[in-house]
Amino acid sequence: MSPLISPGELAAGIAAGTVLVVDCRKELSNPNSGQQAYREAHIPGAWYADLDRDLSNLGKTGQGRHPLPDEAAFSKTLAGWGLTPELCVVAYDDAGGAMAAARLWWLLRLGGISNARVLDGGWSAWLHEGLPVDASLPQPRVGSVSIKFDPAQMVDFDALGEGLARNTICLLDARGAARFRGEVEPLDAVAGHVPGARNRPFSDNLDTRSRFKPAEVLAADFKQAIAGCSPDSVVHMCGSGVTACHNLLAMEHAGLTGSRLFAPSWSGWISDPTRPVAGPDPA
């Protein structure tokens, strides 16, 4: 099953009662913007997932700006949405999946829930198709969900350092080129990148309508980006482990499976001043 779903497919799933829809809209510069937009209008029946509250645990230190949520808290969130095994979770946002639909999709996979997809084109694609919207809020549910995160899908600090030293990891950074080179840094205290990383901006996954490029196009792009490496040696990172999920999703969409995530990403890497930093790079 493709990790992406079209607006028409989602509308059919809603009508059939086979999907659980989650609105993940978020602007980092305006933390309340996503929930405000959700309350004004959303896909009918959709729940809201806040990146900071539901898809992260901001109480953790040394793990970047968006540390992973605890398993128990994430399980409680999923139960409150009424998740059951027969439902497909469909996440959407208004940033082509990058903020933060792909993050939810990856967290579900991390927790062993493979029946999850991202709405291709997100909120704007839904509106473009003239499909209905709603402002009513779904009623809280009482369910029982218990997930365990799969450590094999993640890489920690030690494993990343060892893999880079042994050249067994191909580290892809999803941030924009200027941030990667260290020319600008709007969010974190230190500019630059992890030595040995390659740059593959997540924005390159999308076309002019903020929809994912065809699978064969993405496959060619990523094969060039990871030249000399196998897909299962790829580890994704970004600023805080959010847009990195977009690159991971794009690779899965392209049929390049098995890549992993360095969730702390750049903001976690620089939390220890003894870790090396590369950049700025005038090239």
Residues 213 and 207: beta-carbon distance below 8 Å: yes
Residues 94 and 124: beta-carbon distance below 8 Å: yes
Residue with tokens 């579900």: 108
Strand order of the β-sheet with 260-261 is 198-199, 170-173, 234-237, 260-261
Query: Is residue 229 annotated as a catalytic residue, yes or no?
Result: no
Residue of 40, 63, 67, 39 lying closest to 53 (CA atoms)? 67
Largest CA distance in the chain: 55
Q: Residue 119 forms beta bridges with which residues?
A: 5
Residue with tokens 């509106």: 127
Catalytic position from the list 24, 170, 229, 238? 238
Residue 63 one-letter amino acid: Q
Reduce the DSSP state of residue 7 to 3 states and report it. helix
Give ∠ CA 196-202-103 in degrees, rounded to 5. 100
| Helix/strand/coil percentages in the chain, nearest 5 | 35, 15, 50
Residues serving a catalytic function are 238
